[in-house]
């Protein structure tokens, strides 16, 4: 018997939900069944798969209220949950539209006139998706949808910290006969994730660097591909030529949306010293206008800290910064309200790279700001990190583009923040410890789920010049 896991409610702190992980033997059997079902899914063809995903979307829409309620209970926030569901639904349409062109096989002539080439791709039969708690729905489906369209079967293991959204999603899956045998959500924590890796043909992992390393090692032992999307410590650089109003609004949004619980949150801000004071006064004034979504879920922009472990990390980073001389201008404490953990948007100055808040992932609504005197210094500070997920630059476009080329990160927003969360066309890799594997965004994302096959056809009846002679 596996042990039930009690799940905490982020608004009340009460453990009001339970998940029961499958024993490893049953999970292995489930994987076998799902892999067998994949054959029919692939044979269904792309049109049939698109039709099945559209039916799934319809079933989700008809149960949308239940899904919203579950996601709100998982995360404690409402407006971001609504956006999360919208984004998930629109990603189904986006991929259904893109897939036909991406999955076309091609026939080509080769450099050898009597050899033709048919270039085809075949899906990995069974993909495992392991996801975190910060955007539970979006991050458990972001790889799932292109993988399904590519013809793979998928087993998803969402985070044990926010698993309530799975039940309404499963109801919608069971309404689509073609889909129900090839798309499964399993509940559980790390042990279930690690058992899943033992049974799949490819793993997509989103989560922390520490777990990502374990996933990569387990996948390497089995020689299966692992696509890792890990943590970040995104910098923003603001030059004198920036539009200050725009920069402070964009940075505030990029830092505190979803209470800063986003891999691509802006977690460090470097500002030209000539505009430093003006910048932080403006940022503080705007930060004060944001309210906690407390006592009711509709009441403000800032939801609770979802994972209790994260509340402890945020407190630790703030304490460490203050002990080393940082000054807090607003926010600055993790409060217990009604049993949940909350943190108001926090602006810090007098910070430096000896502080955890400037070097480790905080994952909270914290905006530490540091002045710089030259562009070289700004770039060097931005690159002084083990992470390389994304970044933002605020300046005249020409200056910003030049800086963007020098930043070691896969996605750079110019005169805006966290654009890769909104715009999915741009292909990008995670640099340094932020991840491994092909781009999750753009057309390349779908092709990651297929292996290429070259079919080489001899088209004449004569001996190839490189064969052994017939003794002639
Ligand atoms: P986590 O690494 O603790 O857990 C992620 C998932 O891995 C969970 O489902 C967990 O149950 C599972 N897991 C734990 N141990 C495992 C093991 N040994 N084998 C297989 N699976 C295992 O991360 P978290 O706290 O849930 O999420 C926060 C982290 O996710 C942050 O670092 C954040 O930056 C990162 N993240 C990255 C992206 C991205 O796209 N780069 C997006 C969102 C979040």
Q: What is the pTM of this model?
A: 0.97
Instruction: Using alpha carbons, list the distances in angstroms from residue 59 to 139, 167, 172, 175.
Output: 20, 13, 5, 7
Best residue among 7, 132, 163 to mutate for probing ligand 1, ranked by most atoms within 8 Å of CB: 132
What are the boundaries of each domain within the chain?
A: 5-230+434-455, 234-421
Q: Which of 45, 15, 6, 239 is nearest to 150 (CA)?
A: 45
How far does residue 208's CA lie from ligand 1's centre (Å)?
Answer: 5
Q: Which of 99, 207, 202, 204 is nearest to 160 (CA)?
A: 207
Q: Are β-strands 450-458 and 115-123 bridged in parallel, bridged antiparallel, or unpaired?
A: antiparallel
Is-contact 360 346, C-beta < 8 A? Answer: no
pLDDT reported for residue 169: 97
pLDDT reported for residue 460: 96
Q: Which of 349, 354, 356 is nearest to 316 (CA)?
A: 356
For CA atoms 199, 427, 396, 401, give the dihedral sign: positive
Q: What is the mean pLDDT of residues 49-61?
A: 98
Task: Please list the residues that pair with 129 across neighbouring strands.
Answer: 156, 204
Strand order in the sheet with 234-238: 327-330, 346-349, 366-372, 266-272, 234-238, 390-394, 411-414
**Could you tell me which CATH number the domain at 5-230+434-455 has?**
3.40.605.10
* Nearest-angstrom CA–CA distance, 250 and 400: 15
Annotated catalytic residues are 229, 263
Angle of the 45-62 helix axis to the 64-75 helix axis, nearest 10: 80
Residue 403: is its pLDDT beyond 60? Answer: yes
Q: pLDDT band for 107, please (50, 70, 90 cuts).
A: confident
Q: Which of 2.60.40.1760, 2.40.33.10, 3.30.2040.10, 3.40.309.10 would CATH assign to domain 234-421?
A: 3.40.309.10
Protein residues with CB under 6 Å of any ligand 1 atom? 130-134, 139, 157, 159-160, 189-190, 193-194, 206-208, 211, 214-215, 229-232, 263, 361, 389, 435
Work out the angle at residue 43's Cα, subtended by the Cα atoms of residues 38 and 46, and round it to the nearest 5 degrees: 100
Residues in the chain: 472
- Ligand 1 atom closest to the CA of 440, numbered from 1: 40
* Nearest-angstrom CA–CA distance, 313 and 303: 17
pLDDT reported for residue 350: 98
Q: What is the mean pLDDT of residues 236-261?
A: 98
The answer to which of 92-106, 189-203, 290-304, 314-328 has the lowest mean pLDDT is 92-106
Nearest CA to ligand 1 atom 28: 207
Is-contact 194 221, C-beta < 8 A? Answer: no
């Amino acid at each position: 018997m596996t042990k039930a896991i009690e799940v905490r409610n982020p608004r009340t702190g009460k453990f009001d939900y339970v998940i029961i992980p499958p024993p490893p033997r049953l999970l292995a059997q489930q994987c076998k069944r799902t892999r067998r079902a994949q054959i029919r899914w692939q044979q269904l063809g792309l049109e049939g798969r698109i039709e099945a995903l559209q039916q799934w979307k319809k079933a989700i829409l008809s149960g949308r209220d239940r899904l919203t309620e579950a996601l709100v209970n998982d995360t404690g926030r409402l407006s971001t949950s609504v956006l999360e569901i919208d984004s998930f639904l629109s990603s189904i349409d986006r991929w259904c539209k893109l897939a036909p062109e991406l999955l076309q096989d091609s026939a080509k002539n080769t450099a050898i006139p009597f050899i033709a080439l048919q270039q085809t791709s075949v899906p990995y039969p069974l993909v495992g998706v392991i996801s975190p708690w910060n955007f539970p729905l979006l991050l458990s489906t972001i790889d799932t949808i292109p993988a399904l369209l590519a013809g793979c079967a998928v087993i998803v293991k969402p985070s044990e910290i926010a698993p309530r959204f799975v039940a309404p999603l499963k109801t919608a899956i069971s309404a689509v006969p073609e889909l129900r045998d090839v798309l499964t959500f399993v509940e559980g924590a790390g042990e279930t994730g690690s058992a899943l890796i033992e049974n799949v043909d490819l793993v997509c992992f989103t989560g922390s660097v520490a777990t990502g390393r374990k996933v990569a090692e387990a996948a390497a032992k089995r020689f299966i591909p692992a696509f890792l999307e890990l943590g970040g410590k995104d910098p923003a650089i603001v030059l004198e030529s920036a539009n200050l109003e725009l920069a402070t609004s964009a940075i505030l949004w990029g830092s505190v949306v979803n209470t800063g619980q986003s891999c691509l949150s802006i977690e460090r801000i470097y500002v030209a010293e000539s505009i430093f004071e003006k910048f932080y006064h403006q940022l503080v004034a705007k930060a004060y206008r944001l309210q906690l979504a407390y006592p009711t879920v509709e009441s403000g922009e800032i939801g609770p800290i979802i994972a209790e472990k994260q509340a402890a990390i945020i407190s630790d980073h703030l304490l460490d910064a203050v002990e080393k001389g940082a000054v807090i201008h607003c926010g600055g404490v993790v409060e217990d309200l009604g049993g949940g953990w909350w943190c108001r948007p926090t602006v810090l100055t007098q910070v430096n790279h000896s502080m955890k808040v400037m070097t480790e992932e905080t994952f909270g609504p914290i905006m530490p700001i540091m002045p710089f005197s030259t562009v070289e210094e700004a770039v060097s500070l931005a690159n002084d990190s083990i992470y390389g997920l994304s970044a933002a630059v605020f300046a005249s476009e020409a200056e910003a583009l030049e800086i963007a080329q020098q930043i070691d990160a896969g996605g750079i927003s110019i005169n805006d923040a966290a654009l890769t969360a909104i715009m999915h066309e741009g292909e990008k890799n995670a640099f340094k410890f932020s991840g491994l594997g092909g781009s999750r965004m753009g057309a390349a994302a779908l092709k990651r789920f297929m292996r290429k096959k070259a079919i080489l056809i001899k088209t004449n009846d004569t001996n190839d010049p490189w064969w052994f002679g017939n003794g002639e």
